[in-house]
Amino acid sequence: MREIDEKEAERHKAKMAKRKAVQDAEVGGKTVEKGLLIVNTGPGKGKTTAAFGLALRMLGHGKRVGVVQFIKGAWHSGEKDAFAAFGDRVSWHTMGEGFTWETQDLQRDIAAAERAWEKAEVLMADPSISLVVLDELNIALRYDYLDLEKVVSSLQARRPDLHVVVTGRNAKPALVEAADLVTEMGQEKHHFSAGVKAQQGIEF
The pTM assigned to this predicted structure is 0.86
98 in a structural domain:
yes
Query: How confident is the model over 140-190, as pLDDT tens digits?
Result: 999 999 999 999 999 999 999 999 999 999 999 999 999 999 999 998 898
14 in a structural domain:
no
Return the sign of the alpha-carbon dihedral for residues 149, 154, 160, 162.
negative
The CATH number given to whatever domain includes residue 131 is: 3.40.50.300
Residue, of 201 and 143, whose pLDDT is higher: 143
**Residue 99 confidence class, pLDDT cut points 50, 70, 90:** low
53 in a structural domain:
yes
Q: Look at the chain and report how many structural domains it folds into.
A: 1
State residue 75's pLDDT score.
67
108 in a structural domain:
yes
177 in a structural domain:
yes
Give a three-class secondary structure readout of 84-97. Answer: HCCHHHEEEEECCC
State residue 105's pLDDT score.
79
State residue 29's pLDDT score.
81
169 in a structural domain:
yes
22 in a structural domain:
no
Residue 135 belongs to what domain range?
34-186
62 in a structural domain:
yes
